[in-house]
Structure 1
Amino acid sequence: MAFEKSVSSDLEEWSSQLRTILADLQVEAQLEDKHLLVIGCSTSEVVGKRIGTEGALNTAAILFREFEEFQQKTGVQLAFQCCEHLNRALVVARQTAESRGYEEVSVIPVQTAGGAMAAYAFNHLKQAVVVEHIKADAGIDIGDTFIGMHLKHVAVPLRSKIKQVGYAHVTTAKTRPKLIGGERAMYDNKPELKSCT
């Protein structure tokens, strides 16, 4: 009984930590329905174990609920990154895949090949499908799962008041368009024009 109470207390704390991190991300990234957020999450790391060793569906469930609430508030589209055994493919809603022209692949993420978070998302997102590649506008990495391969150029690291969910290290990022050109290039929309010869 005491153990169950402790686990429940941990889950509530981890949920609260994630909620704060997502709020801090939103302040900086201003995500809305046209944007895509990539989520990498090792539930093993959240519970204090080595990545890929102790996937926890109960932890995935509580964190998924926070992501779902964040989506409802902001409209942002979600992509849940699978583990390396599925080459870090991603679980998205079919509507997201179709509207962005992503090609669906045939695989069902499970705890031991995909990870607990991706497996949970696959079973709880509306009409979930798996795709191999995306270019997300922002990302959150819980447990050093390496989401960088799925972010647009250029990634800008963000800082939150909270650095962990449970025992897992957390990083977040937004992206911005590349700055191109040299010393004569302009990056804001001013009326004056410089001649180019």
Structure 2
Amino acid sequence: MNRTIYESMKAAITELATVGKLQEGKLLVVGCSTSEVRGGHIGKDSSLDIAEDLCRALFEVQHEYGFDIAIQCCEHLNRALVMERHAALVRGYEEVNVVPVQHAGGSMATTAYATWSDPVLVEYVKADAGIDIGDTFIGMHLKHVVVPVRLSIKEIGAAHVTAARVRPKFVGGERAQYNETLK
């Protein structure tokens, strides 16, 4: 196990879960290039070992906070997402028929698919928060309105890390009052 990668991932996900108010019923989308984590070029140096370390940390934080996870596949699967069946069903997501493998789906999606007891793939999600490890571009899978989260962890391995949460849209105008807890 690569302790540094595991600990960086666990710290980043814990911080995002806290800032993003992730809890039971919320959905976190994860985009990750293990190639970038290990210092390679996205899509060219995928690692199942690194994915196992990242997933272990991710699943531990998920267990603590209770949120659901959708892991974005690579471009070869059109950025489909792997998630647990119960999480997809409760949201009404339509299952698609594909199985991620290391070089057509990516190592993170492959690892999650192999780890979860009842995984499915879906084409689209609208997540409450997201983390992007290695510039995989997860924005299409987030609800409106996206708010950047400035994590203290800026890199996992050699990969650039960004994160975001969402908030409800402000509607009304200058006389409207807003619920401060939703900002």
Pick the TM interval, shorter chain: over 0.9
2:107 partner amino acid:
A
Q: d(CA) in 1 for partners of 2:179 and 2:44?
A: 48
CA apart distance, 1:24: 1.5
Give SS of 2:174's match.
coil
- Please, which of 5, 22, 25 is the counterpart of residue 31 of structure 1? 22
Deviation at 1:186, TM superposition (A): 2.3
Determine the C-alpha separation between the residues in 2 that align with 1:150 and 1:65: 23
Deviation at 1:12, TM superposition (A): 0.7
The structure whose Rg is larger is 1
Which of 118, 123, 133 matches 2:124?
A: 133
CA distance in 2, matches of 1:116, 1:72: 21
TM-score when scaled to structure 2? Answer: 0.95
RMSD: 1.1
Alignment partner of 1:105 out of 68, 76, 96: 96
In the superposition, the TM-score normalised over structure 1's length comes to 0.88
Asked if 1:67 corresponds to 2:53, the answer is: no
Q: How many Å separate the matches in 2 of 1:159 and 1:108?
A: 33
Give the aligned partner of residue 195 of structure 1.
none
Give the match's secondary structure for 2:19: helix
The aligned counterpart of 2:68 is: 77
Deviation at 1:158, TM superposition (A): 0.6
CA drift of 1:30 comes to: 1.8
Following the alignment from structure 1 to structure 2, what is the Cα–Cα distance between the partners of residues 107 and 188?
42
Give unmatched runs, 5+ long, in structure 2.
Answer: none
SS at match of 1:49: coil
Provide, for residues 38-71 of structure 1, a one-character-per-residue CA deviation record: whole Å limited to 9, x for no partner.
Answer: 0001000000000000110000001100111011
Tell me the distance in 2 between the aligned counterparts of 1:188 and 1:15.
37
Percentage of identical aligned residues: 53
- How far is the alpha carbon of 1:19 from its aligned partner? 1.3
Q: 1:62 and 1:56 mapped to 2: Cα distance?
A: 10
Q: Which residue among 111, 115, 131 is the counterpart of 1:124?
A: 115
Question: How many residues are paired up?
Answer: 180
Residue 40 of structure 1 aligns to a residue whose secondary structure is: strand
